[in-house]
């Protein structure tokens, strides 16, 4: 589920910000890391582009600072950031084989349901076309 959300976030960024125009939303340090990863992948002859090298935190940052995307997703910045932080923690715990305490299952189930609804929103929005502004939320 989290991987599908990451893929949809990447699609949204790719469509909304052609020609890497997303780069103004991330720090210089993060951009350098994205570029370094891109160069490493090119050396390995992996078919990729710069936007493919964005990490979860970069995707989250870009979308959280783009008012029109948040509006289409029907989230305010705080709600979006809370959801994505919770998903990141869950993903990290699963990826690093952390024990999930039985007492956490109810909150994990609620988070999963919320994530599923968020994924549906991501899958259905269209972020291309006219009428989009580059409103940056700080």
Structural domain count of the chain: 1
Tell me what the mean pLDDT of segment 100-118 comes to: 85
pLDDT of residue 134: 42
Q: What pLDDT is stored for residue 72 in this prediction?
A: 95
The 3-class SS string of 5-26 reads HHHHHHHHHHHHCHHHHHHHHC
Which range marks the domain in which residue 33 is found? 2-124
> Does residue 138 belong to any structural domain of this protein?
no
Q: Which of 6, 2, 9 is nearest to 95 (CA)?
A: 2
pLDDT for residue 135? 43
Is the pTM here over 0.75, yes or no? yes
Residues above pLDDT 90, as percent of the chain = 74
* The pair of three-digit structure tokens given for residue 110, joined into one six-digit string: 């609620």
Among the listed ranges 13-22, 51-60, 76-85, 87-96, which one has the minimum average pLDDT value? 87-96
Task: Please compute the mean of the pLDDT values over residues 91-104 and round it to a whole number.
Answer: 71
Residue 129 belongs to some domain of the structure: no
Which of 52, 53, 70 minimizes the C-alpha distance to 11?
A: 52
What's the confidence (pLDDT) of residue 99? 66
Is a pLDDT exceeding 60 seen at residue 7? yes
Considering the domain boundaries, does residue 41 fall inside one? yes
Any domain includes 137: no
């Amino acid at each position: 589920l989290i991987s599908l959300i990451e893929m949809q976030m990447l699609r949204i960024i790719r469509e909304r910000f052609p020609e890497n125009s997303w780069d103004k939303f991330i720090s210089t340090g993060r951009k350098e890391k994205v570029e370094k990863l891109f160069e490493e992948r090119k050396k390995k002859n992996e078919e990729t582009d710069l936007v493919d090298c964005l990490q979860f935190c970069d995707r989250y940052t870009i979308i959280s600072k783009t008012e029109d995307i948040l509006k289409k997703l029907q989230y305010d910045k705080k709600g979006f950031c809370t959801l994505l932080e919770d998903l990141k923690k869950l993903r990290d715990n699963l990826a690093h084989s952390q024990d999930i305490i039985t007492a956490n299952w109810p909150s994990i189930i609620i988070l999963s349901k919320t994530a599923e609804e968020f994924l549906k929103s991501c899958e259905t929005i269209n972020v291309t076309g006219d009428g989009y502004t580059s409103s940056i939320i700080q």
